[in-house]
Chain A
Amino acid sequence: MSTADTQTPARRANKRASAILKAIASFVVIVGTTYLGLLAVTFFIGRVVPIDPVLAIVGDRAPAHVVERTREEMGFNLPYYHQFYLYVKGVLSGDFGTSVLTTNPVMADIRRVFPATMELATVGTIIGAALGIPLGVLAAVKRGSLADQIVRIIGLIGYSVPIFWLGLLALLVFYARLGWTAGPGRIDVVFEYTFTPITGFFLLDAVLNRDRAAFKDIFAHIILPASLLGYFSLAYISRMTRSFMLNELSQEYIVAARAKGLSETRIIWGHALRNAAVPLVTVIALSYAGLLEGSVLTETVFAWPGLGLYITNSLQNADMNAVLGGTIVIGSVFIALNLLSDLLYRLLDPRTRIR
């Protein structure tokens, strides 16, 4: 501390600037290597696997010179590092190759289906956070009580249940038997020609179009898969909220607030939860990423026309370009969310700021 006091302001500002530069540099290195790692793995999966991509296109009865020419045209005669360079260059410019199944560029396909997945994961996260945070707070405040045990069991089942199975049962009960919700799919065929998507987020589009009937139908379709995903994020969020809250409630400022005579409600929701909110943002971002992944299985069950269904359909048809394109997109969102949560943490928590 004493050395810092003797420094001139200019030197201190210099030091701070270099610390910030260093932080930015390490940030760039982390993003760069992580992304490069992702591409290396997908490249490895796509090229070093048993299926010969050239034979997959020309067929195994093609004459040898055709195979050779195609191999050269596709760049497969080049050394691996050169192929990898071309691959990275392609991916970075948004070129994932062409889907064998739909014959469209994979990027165009993904652009078409991705909003559906985002919408589902967003609604799911909203449900999960809206229920998970209060439950976690309740469990922490009434630690060891029956309520705490119940929240714990709800969470544990969420960690243990196969999502696709729960989805099937939910469809059976709420759609087939009770008729409370709509069935698989995203919107009824009735609206297929009258409904014009603007953003790709159908709930939002219905509001923008002022189409009340369509909104009701879309809501009836989304509520079941979104609640299911919401349950999974609830399990995670409530558990983390409980542990953050327990940590906050044992701090001295809580004792001070009690001594001042503040009401328990104010202490819990105003003081403790506000401090727990910083790590909670991280948790919510991570759970959003988890839901994007969980959508692969959920979308299959609910015939939800998103990225997850696109990937599983492509899997069944050995359409590797589409599978790897989808993997890269989900992986990129994962990496981005990880970094975003890290950045938010730094922004929101003054202790982590660079001085």
Chain B
Amino acid sequence: MSDAVMTRREWLLTDRPQSRLQARLGRAYLTWSRFAANKLAVIGLGIIILLLFVAAFAPLLSPYSPYIGDLKNARLLPPSSTNWLGTDDQGRDILSRLIYGSRLTLQVIVLVAIIAAPIGLLVGTAAGYAGGWIDAVLMRITDIFLAFPKLVLALAFVAALGPGIENAIIAIALTSWPPYARIARAETLTVRNSDYIAAVKLMGASPMRIVLRHIMPLCISSLIVRVTLDMAGIILTAAGLGFLGLGAQPPLPEWGAMIASGRRFILDQWWVAAAPGAAILIVSLGFNLLGDGLRDALDTRSGGQ
């Protein structure tokens, strides 16, 4: 038994892989074992997998409806065996609302990442590859956006666009792309003069093709790390907007908005506001732990300080 495991490990770590697949699997195995050695990172990964699971199976997992409560008998009940986390002022089960709220949280972070990361990637690689005045102008714009207070600017955007979860997502995305552009540019600068790029160029590839097919893929891993580390900030900003009444609107079970509605009862029915805040804390902690672990595992250069 242990013999077979040993050989499998040897097969993965061989110096002379027989196929491309073997080489890729070997590299993935190395990254994974570096990652798995970090216990906190594994906990973070567990939290995120749990979040995905809960969001996917929300209707099956939640014991009650997240929208319709029992106004007559079940207002502001403390945590009990029937309502594990108690009920809110409209008699709705808080646990069920938290479970459905995970979908909104995921929606926010996925959409922000899908909007902001490509913008940053495009701006950064274009600036880095083109150089000259294009680089100067694009990076000046990036730095201008970097110098802004993110939350306040997002607030102003949402105030102008009108409250709502879509506008909150747009506002957060508009304020979170600059770091990605900086990272993508830095990565581009390190590879743009390398031999393989020169080789592709000699074969007659257009700049477009070089950037899209040969530079962008190399930026992806450091970008993923940064996006993961930013997820916590995105969740907190979205929750802050929700708390101020500018994000998701009632009756959507957005966690920040749930804290805002529980605020009135904080002195006597503290669990109404406490539970959604704890959910936000756990999920953003998960992303921070995962991001730290990914950075150490994917980045072999900085020796994991």
Contact = CB atoms under 8 A, between A and B. Distances in A.
Interface of A: 30, 33-34, 37-38, 41-42, 45-46, 49-51, 156-157, 159-166, 168-169, 171-172, 176, 243, 246, 289, 292-294, 296-297, 300-301, 311-312, 315-316, 318, 320, 323-324, 326-327, 330-331, 334-335, 338
B141 interface: yes
Given A50-B162, A161-B281, A169-B274, A327 B153 contact: yes
A159 B285 CA distance: 8
B155 A172 contact: no
A318 B296 CA distance: 45
A164 B243 contact: yes
Contact of B284 (A160, A168, A294, A315): A160
Contact of A156 (B244, B273, B288): B288
B259 A300 contact: no
Contacts of A168: 259, 263, 266, 273, 277
Contact of A293 (B143, B149, B239, B289): B149
A46 B256 CA distance: 26
A320 to B, nearest CB: 7
26 contacts: A38-B144, A41-B153, A49-B160, A50-B161, A50-B162, A156-B285, A156-B288, A161-B281, A162-B277, A164-B240, A168-B266, A172-B270, A246-B305, A289-B149, A293-B150, A294-B151, A297-B151, A300-B244, A316-B245, A323-B156, A324-B156, A327-B152, A327-B153, A330-B149, A330-B152, A334-B147
B267 A172 contact: yes
B280 interface: yes
Nearest to A31: B147
A176 B267 contact: yes
A162 B256 contact: yes
A338 B157 CA distance: 23
- How many B residues are at the interface, by size bracket? 35 or more
Nearest to A173: B270
Contacts of A311: 152, 155
Nearest to B276: A165
A160 B148 contact: no
Contact of B149 (A159, A292, A318): A292
Q: Which of B141, B147, B281 has the most CB of A within 10 A?
A: B147
B252 interface: no
A47 to B, nearest CB: 9
Contacts of B210: none
A323 B243 contact: no
Given A159-B232, A162-B240, A162-B280, A293 B144 contact: no
Contact of A34 (B144, B246, B266, B273): B144
B11 interface: no
B74 interface: no
Contacts of B156: 42, 45, 323-324, 327
Contacts of A171: 266
B240 A33 contact: no
Q: Which of A45, A160, A243, A301 has the most CB of B within 10 A?
A: A160
Given A37-B141, A172-B270, 14 more contacts: A30-B143, A33-B140, A42-B156, A50-B160, A159-B284, A161-B277, A161-B281, A162-B243, A164-B240, A164-B259, A176-B266, A311-B152, A323-B156, A334-B147
A234 B285 CA distance: 17
Contact of A160 (B141, B143, B147, B285): B285
Nearest to B255: A162
Nearest to B246: A315
Nearest to B240: A297
Contacts of A335: 147
Interface of B, secondary structure class, is: helix
Contacts of B140: 33
A320 B245 CA distance: 16
Q: Which of B153, B159, B239 has the most CB of A within 10 A?
A: B159
Interface in B18-70: none
B234 to A, nearest CB: 12
A162 B239 contact: yes
B170 to A, nearest CB: 12
A198 B149 CA distance: 29
Interface in B218-269: 232, 236, 239-240, 243-246, 256, 259, 263, 266-267
Contacts of B236: 160, 162-163
A323 B159 CA distance: 8
Given A164-B240, A311-B152, A37 B259 contact: no
Contacts of A324: 156
Contacts of B151: 293-294, 296-297
Given A33-B140, A168-B266, A316-B245, A331 B148 contact: yes
Q: What are the 8 tightest A-B residue pairs by CB atom distance, in nearest-first order?
A: A165-B277, A37-B144, A49-B160, A160-B284, A160-B285, A293-B149, A45-B160, A327-B156
A315 B280 CA distance: 24
Contacts of A166: 277
A297 B244 CA distance: 8
Contacts of B270: 169, 172
Contacts of B144: 33-34, 37-38
Contacts of B276: 165
A312 B140 CA distance: 30
Contact of A46 (B160, B161, B232, B274): B160
A315 B159 contact: yes
Nearest to A290: B149
Nearest to B174: A41
Contact of A49 (B152, B161, B243, B288): B161
Q: Which of B150, B155, B243, B270 has the most CB of A within 10 A?
A: B155
